[in-house]
Copies of this chain bind each other. A is one copy, B any other.
Amino acid sequence: MTVRIAVAGASGYAGGELLRLLLGHPDVEIGALTAGGNAGTPLLAHQPHLLPLADRILGETTAENLAGHDVVFLALPHGHSAEIAARLGEDTLVIDCGADHRLTDEAAWTRWYGGAHAGSWPYGLPELPGQRDVLTTARRIAVPGCYPTVSSLALAPAIHLVEPEVTVVAVSGTSGAGKSLKPNLLGSEVMGSLSAYGVGGAHRHTPEITQNLSKVAGRDVKVSFTPVLAPLPRGILATCSATLTGDDDVRAVYEKAYADEPFVHLLPEGHWPTTGAVLGSNAVQLQVTVDPDLNRLVVVAAVDNLAKGTAGAAVQCMNLALGLPETTGLSTVGVAP
């Protein structure tokens, strides 16, 4: 089987990572590549690492250009996916790397993003309880945000064992902010500096983490989420903690939860996750401990924000939805050092 795919937003970081992964996928043929302002220019100008596609000229992101493919990946600014998706055939597998279809609660969408709520699609985090089955039959999939991916995987297995108020401080590389031409993202500003942003529940990934953990817990969970920007291109390291209500063997809980997951790895005791170890891979590395003085669960998780945090998850979801082996074209081997 060869699947013909299109990527909308091919000049950005998510689009570039999708193409990097899809170039190594044995069952995929790469069709239309489209962009917004970069339409009409060759891919080489934006993705010099994708040599096999260097000469491809980017088309405009229109439903016409994206039609006629088995799978369409949308890597667009938020607010742009719904209209395009509505004009693609119902049997086309549409995988949205943007935020438009992640939140189920219209009020949450309005509060955090504003504008009309496009509705929600099946959520592309197969490692959440019951979610893999949902994805095997989906034809519309909302890929999770990078912070929600790592935070949800870090806390979901124990969310019923803790007080329903969790703290997440996640340090991220800069590619998560996209190729935006903002002064604070310039290399000169980023290198040698750390900064916080979206503090105090102001980051749009907060409601998504809340949604995931509340759904798994079966009750309202409150999330204190702070993202920190650090000088590296890729990678998120999340420190997640919550007060335990009992004295469960949390390590055993995590071992059981992820025993059969191909991409989520609980490290042996004494080893701690690093983002360098998962760079370019679809792996999530976890370690858990309990602070004895506070009886507080602390989980540290590392992920590549562009891979498992975005494009890798998208390919994983494509595999599931197409009935391919879930790991096809994906790796658990990072590029280090």
Q: Which of A173-211 contact B (CB under 8 A)?
A: 173-175, 177, 179, 181-183, 185-197, 199-202, 206
A298 neighbours in B (Cβ, 8 Å): 199-200, 224, 226
For residue A79, CB closer than 8 A to chain B, the reply is: no
Is there an interface contact between A279 and B48, defined as CB atoms closer than 8 Å? no
Per-position contact with B for A140-181: 1 when CB-CB < 8 Å, else 0?
A: 000000000000000000000000010101010111010101
Number of interface residues of A (CB under 8 A): 95
A334 neighbours in B (Cβ, 8 Å): 48-51
CB-based nearest B residue for A301: B196
CB-based nearest B residue for A42: B268
For residue A32, CB closer than 8 A to chain B, the reply is: no
Is there an interface contact between A333 and B52, defined as CB atoms closer than 8 Å? yes
CB-based nearest B residue for A175: B188
Tell me the smallest distance from the CB of A289 to a CB of chain B, in Å.
4
Is there an interface contact between A192 and B232, defined as CB atoms closer than 8 Å? yes
CB-based nearest B residue for A227: B239
| Contact A185/B188 with A231-B232, A279-B49, A337-B13 known, Cβ cut-off 8 Å | yes
CB-based nearest B residue for A16: B336
A189 contacts which of B280, B287, B337 (Cβ < 8 Å)? B337
Tell me the smallest distance from the CB of A258 to a CB of chain B, in Å.
13
Tell me the smallest distance from the CB of A24 to a CB of chain B, in Å.
7
Between A and B, 24 residue pairs with Cβ closer than 8 Å are: A24-B331, A49-B278, A49-B281, A49-B336, A51-B277, A165-B294, A169-B226, A171-B228, A173-B188, A173-B194, A186-B186, A187-B187, A191-B191, A191-B337, A192-B192, A192-B337, A194-B302, A199-B272, A200-B292, A201-B294, A224-B241, A279-B335, A280-B280, A335-B335
